[in-house]
A and B are shown apart, each in its own frame.
Chain A
Amino acid sequence: EDQVTQSPEALRLQEGESSSLNCSYTVSGLRGLFWYRQDPGKGPEFLFTLYSAGEEKEKERLKATLTKKESFLHITAPKPEDSATYLCAVQAGDSWGKLQFGAGTQVVVTP
């Protein structure tokens, strides 16, 4: 059975304190791995798509990497505005259909 597991469930950081979030997956035929950010009361906001092991993408203080079993979202020198829940999702199988989401990591960055 396909599984997506995110860790930790919650992370509290001081401003400027870099850290990494983990997304491990067990799926058949990965087509893509997606990272989203979700603020309270809003829909998920797209961050990155990774398609193959070894791929890396960056945006401001965020960098996503992918291996054959997991993905990491690195947050470098975070600011309070990086506080959000970060969701990982995979798309697998023979269509660009449903995303299967992990439970998310809630990140709080304090000044």
Chain B
Amino acid sequence: GAGVSQSPSNKVTEKGKDVELRCDPISGHTALYWYRQSLGQGLEFLIYFQGNSAPDKSGLPSDRFSAERTGGSVSTLTIQRTQQEDSAVYLCASSLLAGGNYEQFFGPGTRLTVL
């Protein structure tokens, strides 16, 4: 069956440019999450969507980061005016949140490198 997919798998950009990262969750999953994983930092939460709304944006590190979800499905994470410290692997996960199924299933990630 289809899992969570993310694109692009790799993105190299120059400092100051904007980037968009895409996540396609597992079909039917109502909840969608963004995390990032940096060397030495572990996995840190960024934002959580339930349907198209974001009840928890507490992990977004600055106002340069934003995310949206449309049609209760695809989500885009946008980073404006990228900085070198934004370099990390950005991971998306989705969850059914019904019938006792609360586990989050992760995609392969997008590796972002800011030069």
Which residues of A line the B interface, CB within 8 A? 31-32, 34, 36, 42-46, 49, 87, 89, 91, 95-104
Contacts and interface: CB of A to CB of B under 8 A. Distances in A.
Contacts of A42: 108-109
Contact of A99 (B4, B97, B104, B108): B104
Contact of B97 (A34, A96, A101): A96
Interface of B: 4, 31, 33, 35, 42-45, 48, 55-56, 58-59, 91, 93, 95, 97, 102-109
A32 B43 contact: no
B107 to A, nearest CB: 5
B45 A100 contact: yes
A43 B56 contact: no
A34 B104 CA distance: 9
Contact of A103 (B4, B33, B42, B105): B42
Contacts of B103: 34, 46, 49
* Most chain A beta-carbon neighbours within 10 Å: one of B35, B56, B104, B108: B104
